Protein backbone atom coordinates (compact mmCIF):
# COMPACT_ATOMS: atom_id res chain seq x y z
CA UNK A 1 0.00 0.00 0.00
CA UNK A 2 1.37 3.39 -0.94
CA UNK A 3 0.06 6.90 -0.75
CA UNK A 4 1.41 10.41 -1.14
CA UNK A 5 4.92 10.56 0.31
CA UNK A 6 5.19 6.81 0.96
CA UNK A 7 6.37 3.74 -0.89
CA UNK A 8 6.62 0.04 -0.16
CA UNK A 9 8.23 -2.67 -2.22
CA UNK A 10 10.59 -5.61 -2.34
CA UNK A 11 14.25 -5.57 -3.22
CA UNK A 12 15.08 -6.93 -6.66
CA UNK A 13 16.97 -10.19 -7.17
CA UNK A 14 20.72 -9.75 -7.26
CA UNK A 15 22.98 -7.90 -4.89
CA UNK A 16 21.79 -4.37 -4.21
CA UNK A 17 23.95 -2.09 -2.09
CA UNK A 18 25.12 1.49 -1.96
CA UNK A 19 28.48 3.19 -2.02
CA UNK A 20 29.91 6.60 -1.20
CA UNK A 21 29.30 9.07 -4.05
CA UNK A 22 32.31 9.45 -6.30
CA UNK A 23 34.85 11.12 -6.13
CA UNK A 24 34.44 11.44 -2.36
CA UNK A 25 36.82 9.67 -0.02
CA UNK A 26 35.89 8.12 3.29
CA UNK A 27 35.74 10.76 6.03
CA UNK A 28 38.91 10.96 8.13
CA UNK A 29 38.92 8.69 11.13
CA UNK A 30 41.29 7.99 14.00
CA UNK A 31 43.56 4.96 14.04
CA UNK A 32 41.70 1.89 15.27
CA UNK A 33 42.89 0.69 18.65
CA UNK A 34 41.26 -2.56 19.75
CA UNK A 35 40.36 -1.85 23.37
CA UNK A 36 39.26 -4.23 26.12
CA UNK A 37 35.56 -4.78 26.57
CA UNK A 38 32.83 -7.16 27.66
CA UNK A 39 33.67 -10.69 26.50
CA UNK A 40 31.17 -13.47 25.87
CA UNK A 41 30.59 -16.42 23.54
CA UNK A 42 29.16 -15.53 20.14
CA UNK A 43 25.84 -17.17 19.35
CA UNK A 44 26.53 -17.11 15.59
CA UNK A 45 29.43 -18.05 13.36
CA UNK A 46 31.08 -14.68 12.54
CA UNK A 47 31.89 -16.01 9.05
CA UNK A 48 28.16 -15.64 8.25
CA UNK A 49 29.00 -11.95 7.65
CA UNK A 50 31.14 -13.04 4.69
CA UNK A 51 27.98 -14.29 2.95
CA UNK A 52 26.69 -11.42 0.78
CA UNK A 53 23.22 -11.35 2.33
CA UNK A 54 24.58 -12.09 5.82
CA UNK A 55 26.85 -9.04 5.56
CA UNK A 56 23.96 -6.96 4.24
CA UNK A 57 21.77 -8.00 7.19
CA UNK A 58 24.63 -7.05 9.55
CA UNK A 59 24.77 -3.57 7.97
CA UNK A 60 21.01 -3.20 8.51
CA UNK A 61 21.49 -3.96 12.21
CA UNK A 62 24.49 -1.64 12.67
CA UNK A 63 24.27 0.88 9.81
CA UNK A 64 26.86 3.31 11.16
CA UNK A 65 29.49 0.65 11.84
CA UNK A 66 32.35 -0.13 9.52
CA UNK A 67 33.13 -3.82 9.12
CA UNK A 68 36.66 -5.14 8.78
CA UNK A 69 38.09 -8.63 8.90
CA UNK A 70 36.86 -11.92 7.54
CA UNK A 71 35.87 -15.39 8.65
CA UNK A 72 35.96 -15.87 12.41
CA UNK A 73 37.83 -12.59 12.97
CA UNK A 74 35.39 -9.76 12.37
CA UNK A 75 35.75 -6.17 13.61
CA UNK A 76 32.88 -3.68 13.78
CA UNK A 77 33.68 -0.05 14.55
CA UNK A 78 31.25 2.83 14.97
CA UNK A 79 33.45 5.93 15.08
CA UNK A 80 30.56 8.30 15.83
CA UNK A 81 29.36 6.35 18.89
CA UNK A 82 32.80 5.15 19.97
CA UNK A 83 31.62 1.53 19.97
CA UNK A 84 33.50 -1.48 18.71
CA UNK A 85 33.11 -5.23 18.59
CA UNK A 86 35.40 -8.01 17.49
CA UNK A 87 35.23 -11.76 17.24
CA UNK A 88 37.83 -14.49 17.35
CA UNK A 89 37.91 -18.27 17.47
CA UNK A 90 37.72 -19.66 20.99
CA UNK A 91 40.40 -22.33 21.58
CA UNK A 92 37.75 -24.44 23.39
CA UNK A 93 35.40 -24.26 20.39
CA UNK A 94 33.02 -21.69 18.98
CA UNK A 95 33.82 -17.98 18.91
CA UNK A 96 34.34 -15.18 21.39
CA UNK A 97 32.85 -11.71 20.97
CA UNK A 98 34.31 -8.66 22.69
CA UNK A 99 32.36 -5.39 22.60
CA UNK A 100 32.56 -1.98 24.21
CA UNK A 101 30.86 1.36 23.95
CA UNK A 102 27.29 2.64 24.18
CA UNK A 103 26.09 0.65 21.13
CA UNK A 104 26.39 -3.10 21.55
CA UNK A 105 27.27 -3.73 17.92
CA UNK A 106 27.72 -7.50 18.10
CA UNK A 107 24.44 -7.93 20.03
CA UNK A 108 22.61 -6.10 17.22
CA UNK A 109 24.35 -7.99 14.42
CA UNK A 110 23.96 -11.33 16.15
CA UNK A 111 20.21 -10.80 16.65
CA UNK A 112 19.72 -9.74 13.01
CA UNK A 113 21.67 -12.72 11.67
CA UNK A 114 19.68 -15.07 13.91
CA UNK A 115 16.40 -13.68 12.49
CA UNK A 116 17.76 -14.18 8.97
CA UNK A 117 18.90 -17.73 9.80
CA UNK A 118 15.50 -18.56 11.33
CA UNK A 119 13.95 -17.64 7.96
CA UNK A 120 16.33 -20.12 6.20
CA UNK A 121 18.85 -17.44 5.13
CA UNK A 122 16.84 -15.97 2.25
CA UNK A 123 18.45 -13.76 -0.37
CA UNK A 124 17.70 -10.04 -0.61
CA UNK A 125 14.56 -10.37 -2.76
CA UNK A 126 12.71 -11.76 0.31
CA UNK A 127 13.25 -8.39 2.01
CA UNK A 128 11.27 -5.23 1.42
CA UNK A 129 11.41 -1.58 2.34
CA UNK A 130 8.79 0.91 3.46
CA UNK A 131 9.54 4.62 3.18
CA UNK A 132 7.27 7.29 4.66
CA UNK A 133 7.49 10.62 6.43
CA UNK A 134 7.95 8.63 9.64
CA UNK A 135 11.16 6.99 8.37
CA UNK A 136 12.55 4.06 6.44
CA UNK A 137 12.22 0.43 7.49
CA UNK A 138 13.64 -2.67 5.86
CA UNK A 139 11.66 -5.81 6.68
CA UNK A 140 11.96 -9.54 6.14
CA UNK A 141 9.05 -11.49 4.68
CA UNK A 142 6.16 -9.10 5.22
CA UNK A 143 5.83 -5.47 6.32
CA UNK A 144 4.93 -6.55 9.84
CA UNK A 145 7.80 -9.07 9.96
CA UNK A 146 11.16 -8.55 11.60
CA UNK A 147 12.77 -5.33 10.47
CA UNK A 148 15.30 -2.59 10.92
CA UNK A 149 14.74 1.15 11.02
CA UNK A 150 17.29 2.97 8.89
CA UNK A 151 18.86 6.27 9.83
CA UNK A 152 17.50 9.25 7.91
How many angstroms separate the CA atoms of 68 and 125, rounded?
25
How many angstroms separate the CA atoms of 135 and 1, rounded?
16
> Out of 3.30.310, 3.30.70, 1.10.10, 3.40.50, which CATH number does the structure's domain 7-12+37-150 have?
3.30.310
This prediction has a pTM of 0.87
pLDDT, position 20: 52
How are beta strands 135-140 and 147-150 bridged, if at all? antiparallel
- Compute the Cα dihedral for 12, 25, 50, 151 and give only its sign: negative
- How does pLDDT run across 118-130, given as a tens digit for each residue? 999 999 999 999 9
pLDDT at 109 over 80: yes
pLDDT at 21 over 70: no
Q: Which residue has the higher pLDDT, 1 or 98?
A: 98
How many angstroms separate the CA atoms of 11 and 138, rounded?
10
Amino acid sequence: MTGPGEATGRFLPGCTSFMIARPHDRPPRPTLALLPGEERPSLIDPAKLDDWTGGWVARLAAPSAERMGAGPEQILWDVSAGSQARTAPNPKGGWTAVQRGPVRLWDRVEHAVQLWQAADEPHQERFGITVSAAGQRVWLGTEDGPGWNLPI
